[in-house]
């Protein structure tokens, strides 16, 4: 789970400013009905969330897999929360990050020399 920020991003907990960081989201089951979340900022900081109530998340009804639906809802929760955290973040663009598809390199089979 990751979110790409385009533009400047200010960590709402420390005030540090980053340029176009990739935010890596790491959820943790806290207790029944609540989730904790660590949001790592390009390897140089983090934002922590505690007690995210699953019932307050916005779920996409077009996603039929429950796990994927929860992941999507957590992504959107973090995007909404961080984009509205301060004036600097409100100017940035937050998008769900999908890593590029791996490329398949051509396999060269060498014949043994006899």
pLDDT tens, residue order, the chain (114 aa):
899 999 999 999 999 999 999 999 999 988 887 899 999 998 788 999 989 998 889 999 999 999 999 999 999 999 999 999 999 999 999 999 988 877 766 666 677 776
Nearest to 45 by CA among 15, 82, 74: 15
Distance separating alpha carbons of residues 97 and 73, to the nearest angstrom: 14
pLDDT digits (tens, 9 = 90+) for 74-90: 999 999 999 999 999 99
Q: What is the pLDDT of residue 29?
A: 86
Distance separating alpha carbons of residues 67 and 93, to the nearest angstrom: 26
Q: What is the pLDDT of residue 107?
A: 60
Q: Is residue 37 a contact partner of residue 74, using CB atoms and an 8 Å limit?
A: yes
95: Cβ contacts below 8 Å, ≥ 6 apart: 3, 4, 6
17: Cβ contacts below 8 Å, ≥ 6 apart: 8, 9, 10, 11, 88
């Amino acid at each position: 789970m990751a979110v790409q920020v385009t533009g400047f991003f200010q960590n709402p907990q420390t005030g540090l400013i980053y340029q176009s960081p990739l935010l890596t989201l790491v959820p943790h089951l806290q207790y029944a009905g609540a989730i904790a979340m660590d949001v790592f900022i390009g390897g140089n900081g983090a934002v922590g969330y505690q007690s995210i109530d699953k019932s307050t998340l916005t779920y996409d009804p077009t996603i039929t897999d429950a796990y994927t639906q929860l992941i999507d809802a957590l992504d959107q929760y973090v995007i909404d929360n961080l984009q509205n955290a301060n004036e600097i973040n409100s100017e940035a663009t937050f998008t769900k990050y999908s890593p590029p598809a791996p490329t398949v390199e051509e396999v060269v089979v060498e014949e043994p020399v006899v």
